[in-house]
Amino acid sequence: MNNTLSVLFRALMFAMLTSIASIAACATSDSQSDSMITVTTRDASYVFTIELARTPEEMERGLMFRDRLPSDRGMLFLFPDEREVSFWMKNTLIPLDLIFADASGRIVKIAERAVPLSTELIPSQAPVRAVLEVNGGTAERLHIKVGDKLVYPALSK
């Protein structure tokens, strides 16, 4: 009986360690898929590590339910073509700046310090190809303005 319990215990420990290793591999895989985007202003360039919202589900979820975002990180929403879009802050716990850019990467609108949990729509008010979400106050702190540029491979030069 004692030997049987020992074998069962080892099998259970192996299964738990295998599960933990699988979860860690998935988390590492996600962080390795992060990429970089540069915001070029009149006076400087700023690099952000971004998560790319690829699927409709990722785009719908965005940065919802997160209680913090490092100051050098963000999320990029890329659309297949230029279009007018609207965002909201439902279930988003932190204030965000939404930076709307056209197909060339030129910033056409900045919605600063969007209010957490708000269901009020934040429209692009112009056709855009990309929206970069960063911490609220970032645009003001870095002097990012309409007319500045997002530099990212999927956006034309």
Mean pLDDT of all residues in 5-32: 40
Q: How many domains does the structure of the chain reveal?
A: 2
Encode pLDDT of 99-145 as tens digits.
999 999 999 999 999 999 999 999 999 999 999 999 999 999 999 99
pTM of the entire predicted model: 0.78
Encode pLDDT of 49-69 as tens digits.
999 998 999 999 999 999 999
How far is it, in rounded angstroms, from Cα 114 to Cα 133?
A: 10
Q: Classify residue 156: in a domain, yes or no.
A: no
User: Which residues span the domain enclosing 27?
Assistant: 1-32
Residue with tokens 């209680």: 67
What confidence score (pLDDT) does residue 8 get?
Answer: 45
| CATH value at residue 61 | 2.60.120.1140
Name 54's Cβ contacts closer than 8 Å, sequence gap at least 6: none
